[in-house]
Chain A
């Protein structure tokens, strides 16, 4: 059974450690043009076929769990979204639900606050999925699709920016409710944009299913059968592509997911195309949920923020949420003071690595980029800064190019930024 445990890293120092039959070894990472995140893969080959693949992780330990034990529950609300660059809202959502349950105020959260939270979560899922299948197309050598998807992704990012002030990290949630309201004029502005995006995502789906050059790169590649999936236990879209129909939003409903009309998406094929289709269909479902939420917001009123005490009473709770990549798990223990006793975070990607390595067995080395991408690594794309003059209070919003140009000029002529 030991061949199933894939996190064992073969050192290959004297050659005796290589798996039987392998004649070549390819090392990828930790710094590699393919990967945005530091992970080290080693792929053992026989000819062009993969015999075994290993992974080594832990190049970027930031110690968030330890840091959380040294900050108050309220401070942690703004630390927790930094656990992940792109699924920041879901980490914050699971955290605030956990703290509310421990504080005993989970029944007092108004329906309007819950709807605003759900909009933030679904918008995040939409932009994360579009980003992922864009990069997947890029890895498969289909760069046109990358440009099309990323152009359309700006629509949802504009909506998120309109609602929250930030593109990727909306940080709308607080313990006890939400920070900002979604006024009617903003919701009205967003509706036609969502309609436009739905049309575009339908077009993306058409390209992935009908365009032969991309479909052939994904179909019957890296198959993970349901039996294998039950052993290596992938979560989220990776599992739903292999016929495990589990989504935390359906399995243990939170917020108002049981009161909104939506369908669970799953496929039984288990190849990369199935995971892609799961994400494409989910994007459409999420957009449909976003539209429902905006409709319901018009008729729903309620207090946005409930008063919470600084000290959280003793207890422990295990909260879960469905992140774009899968199941996000938090376990918190409170000791009656204003800081957590212990806080454990399990982000979804760690649970999916086993399944990804299992997919590689017996595949061609040319399919590696696509299979490695299937576990959805992520990076932040916040490239704008706001500069404030301390003396006059004057504000300036710049993008990366403008900022660079201004900085070079300021350095060259030795003059202040403003």
Chain B
């Protein structure tokens, strides 16, 4: 496994210009963490997709910190001859909380469609250049301004909203 890591580290070090990577690449046991920010994320992902040949996206998670949002792309570097995969966490940091915006990676991964729309639903982070950023998972009656995974909404509040929209739906069905 360590050989694989070294090999990938070599690829990344050669192809990544120093100014693109924000906090340097952190290598843990079997894991890569790549930290970058909104302005250079698209360029960096392009290098990973086209030069390093990474085509598999496991999932994307949205994370809320105290004063910023993070979006984490969990991608896999696949070595087909050895049946090996190296997981990479590609973390976009410093997304502004008042106007959350980040580039969409739909051009590189078809699977990003579902995951980005899920984060748009849950956190209200806007993915630029996504062709149809619509609601995916939340119910139709869910209020547009409530983003349920944000810390400002507690468990009780979410329950109240759920009960309210369920009642509305039932009343409408009776009429």
* Contacts from A to B (Cβ < 8 Å): 1-2, 4-9, 57-58, 61, 63, 65-67, 70, 230-233, 235, 245-248, 250-252, 264, 318, 320, 327, 329, 331, 333, 342, 344, 346, 350-351, 353-354
Contact = CB atoms under 8 A, between A and B. Distances in A.
A320 B76 CA distance: 11
Contact of B74 (A57, A58, A61, A318): A318
Chain B contact residues (Cβ within 8 angstroms of A): what range?
35 or more
Contact of A5 (B58, B106, B115, B155): B106
B11 interface: no
A342 B110 contact: no
Contacts of A4: 110
B112 to A, nearest CB: 9
B27 interface: no
Given A246-B78, A251-B84, A63 B158 contact: yes
Given A58-B136, A344-B61, A252 B110 contact: no
Interface of B: 1, 30-31, 55-59, 61, 63-64, 72, 74, 76, 78, 80, 83-87, 89, 106-107, 109-111, 113-115, 117, 131-132, 134-139, 148-149, 155, 158
Given A320-B58, A331-B72, A331-B74, A5 B64 contact: no
A1 B64 CA distance: 32
Contacts, number: 101
Contacts of A232: 110-111
Contacts of A7: 113-114, 117, 136
Given A7-B114, A66-B155, A245 B83 contact: yes
B83 A246 contact: yes
B90 to A, nearest CB: 11
B159 to A, nearest CB: 9
A318 B89 contact: yes
Given A4-B110, A8-B131, 6 more contacts: A5-B132, A233-B55, A252-B87, A329-B58, A329-B74, A354-B114
